């Protein structure tokens, strides 16, 4: 494909009114800007707002899980109908893509999802993605749509992820927008407001967390205000919001998926020697394992932490944690090959 891939995520608070209803004026402005970007990009629109749009139809709505699921089932068609209405003057058709965590945890399913999106792009159709709230398993849910947007962006090889929010960007302690962030560290996280909006699940902590993952995978991320005049277009050009600069990344598409899209099921701690060996692109052997923190099976994804409890990598297991425990004295037992380890 000749066009680059751009992922645009819109938070609930940025596209709804104070009463939690879909703001059609904002949707109209968004579709105008997206239509312009579509000339040069293959777009994925990740839009929150289904629960916000549908909750007014639930009597005495309190936000229980069952109520959120019911609200989402009502709100999703309302949200898509609104987008379709406002994209129509721009001669753009849309498609609904309801995603579940498991679609990213199995490589075959993920590639099928990617092929579907590519077919939509060939036909000039913009996919609008959201979590399938109605059936999503609580233990396998995305943390929020910031995560979904990041997994799509990393997995599909996007060049740019735009995280739209109700504030103009990451704000410093004086309340001014931070124009550029070279590296997302503890000082940057300290700037994040811990609160979320009244209608959304995420917040600035979430955006910075997933911006950090995306930038580590070589993707530029911009956190910007959706209601800024021409905010989307300006953010795409790096002229609005906070630009999180991408890092150099040369790992394969498969290993990008492994690092970001797969479902981590286990965890083990390694000693200093093993940790250093992993950083030098060596395989992980049983001799370097200090403890198994969470069990896993062969073929599953597990996290590797150092002795300070920092996650240093994720890997595809060649053997189960049970096998490791039973053969702990077999020092040459390979737990994960170097080609299946992604350093974080």
Is 212 found in the same domain as 275? no
Is 86 found in the same domain as 106? yes
The pTM of the full predicted model, rounded to 2 decimals, is 0.80
Lowest-pLDDT range of 26-35, 46-55, 96-105, 254-263: 254-263
230 within a domain of the structure (yes/no):
yes
Per-residue pLDDT tens for 16-26?
887 778 899 99
Domain boundary among 191, 222, 253: 253
Q: Where is pLDDT greater, at 133 or 16?
A: 16
176 within a domain of the structure (yes/no):
yes
CA distance linking residue 136 with residue 116, whole number of Å: 21
Residue 297: predicted pLDDT: 87
Is 39 found in the same domain as 146? yes
258 within a domain of the structure (yes/no):
no
137 within a domain of the structure (yes/no):
yes
DSSP letter assigned to residue 171 = B
Question: Nearest CA to 208 among 226, 221, 195?
Answer: 221
220 within a domain of the structure (yes/no):
yes
Residue 194: predicted pLDDT: 55
Q: Where is pLDDT greater, at 329 or 214?
A: 214
How far, rounded to the nearest angstrom, does the alpha carbon of residue 7 sit from its chain's CA centroid? 10
CA distance linking residue 42 with residue 22, whole number of Å: 25
CA distance linking residue 124 with residue 284, whole number of Å: 45
Mean pLDDT, residues 281-295: 92
67 within a domain of the structure (yes/no):
yes
CA distances from 165 to 26, 36, 204, 250, 310 (A): 13, 20, 9, 30, 30
Is 299 found in the same domain as 222? no
Task: Tell me which H or E stretch contains 35.
Answer: helix 24-37
Is 196 found in the same domain as 105? yes
Is 157 found in the same domain as 33? yes
pLDDT, mean over the chain: 87
Per-residue pLDDT tens for 228-281?
999 999 999 999 999 999 988 777 777 777 776 566 778 899 999 999 999 998
Report whether 163 contacts 10 (CB < 8 A).
Answer: no
CA distances from 272 to 110, 159, 277, 310 (A): 35, 35, 9, 12
Edge to edge, what strands does the sheet with 4-10 contain? 93-99, 125-131, 41-47, 4-10, 160-165, 220-225, 242-244, 180-181
160's tokens: 């740019």
44's tokens: 């994925």
Is 289 found in the same domain as 168? no
Q: Which of 209-213, 234-238, 315-319 has the highest mean pLDDT?
A: 234-238
Residue 201: predicted pLDDT: 41
Task: Tell me which H or E stretch contains 179.
Answer: none
Q: How many CB atoms lie within 10 A of CB 267?
A: 18
268 within a domain of the structure (yes/no):
yes
CA distances from 174 to 95, 191, 195 (A): 42, 10, 17
Is 239 found in the same domain as 94? yes
Is 268 found in the same domain as 243? no
Is 269 found in the same domain as 147? no
Cα first-last separation, the chain: 29
Is 205 found in the same domain as 275? no
Number of domains in the chain: 2
Q: By residue range, what is the domain housing residue 275?
A: 263-343
97 within a domain of the structure (yes/no):
yes
pLDDT at 9 over 80: yes
Domain boundary among 253, 274, 295: 253
Residue 200: predicted pLDDT: 42
Reported as a pLDDT band with limits 50, 70 and 90, residue 49 is confident
CA distance linking residue 214 with residue 216, whole number of Å: 5
Sign of the alpha-carbon torsion through 134, 136, 139, 144:
negative
CATH number, domain at 215?
A: 3.40.1160.10
Is 143 found in the same domain as 14? yes
CATH number, domain at 333?
A: 2.30.130.10
pLDDT at 334 over 50: yes
pLDDT at 107 over 50: yes
Lowest-pLDDT range of 25-29, 68-72, 203-207: 203-207
CA distances from 164 to 59, 155, 204 (A): 30, 20, 11
Mean pLDDT, residues 312-336: 87
pLDDT at 198 over 90: no
Domain boundary among 253, 279, 294: 253
266's tokens: 């286990």
């Amino acid at each position: 494909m000749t066009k680059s891939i751009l992922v645009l995520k819109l938070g609930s608070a940025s596209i709804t009114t104070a009463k939690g209803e879909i703001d059609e004026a904002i949707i109209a402005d968004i579709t105008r800007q997206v239509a312009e970007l579509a000339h040069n990009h293959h777009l994925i629109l990740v839009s929150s707002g289904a629960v916000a749009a549908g909750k007014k139809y639930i009597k005495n709505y309190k936000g229980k899980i069952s109520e959120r699921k019911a609200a989402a089932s009502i709100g999703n068609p309302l949200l898509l109908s609104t987008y379709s209405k406002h994209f129509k003057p721009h001669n753009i058709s849309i498609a609904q893509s309801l995603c579940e965590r498991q679609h990213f945890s199995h490589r075959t399913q993920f590639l099928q999802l990617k092929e579907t999106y590519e077919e939509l792009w060939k036909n000039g159709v913009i996919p609008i993605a959201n979590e399938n709230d109605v059936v999503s398993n609580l233990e396998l849910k995305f943390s929020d749509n910031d995560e979904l947007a990041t997994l799509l962006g990393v997995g599909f090889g996007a060049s740019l992820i735009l995280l739209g929010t109700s504030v103009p960007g990451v704000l410093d302690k004086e309340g001014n927008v931070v124009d550029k962030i070279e590296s997302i560290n503890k000082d940057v996280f300290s700037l994040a407001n811990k609160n979320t909006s009244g209608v959304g699940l995420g917040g600035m902590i979430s955006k910075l967390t997933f911006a950090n993952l995306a930038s580590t995978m070589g993707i530029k991320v911009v956190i910007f205000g959706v209601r800024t005049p021409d905010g989307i277009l300006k953010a795409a050009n790096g002229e609005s919001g906070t630009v999180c600069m991408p890092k150099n990344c040369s790992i394969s598409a498969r290993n990008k998926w492994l690092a970001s899209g797969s479902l981590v099921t286990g965890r083990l701690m390694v000693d200093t020697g093993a940790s250093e060996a992993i950083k030098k692109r060596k395989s992980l052997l049983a001799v370097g394992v200090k403890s198994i923190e969470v069990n896993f099976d062969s073929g599953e994804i597990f996290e590797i932490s150092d002795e300070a409890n920092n996650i240093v990598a994720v890997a595809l297991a060649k053997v189960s944690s049970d096998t490791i425990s039973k053969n702990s004295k077999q020092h040459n037992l390979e737990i994960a090959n170097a080609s299946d380890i992604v350093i974080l």
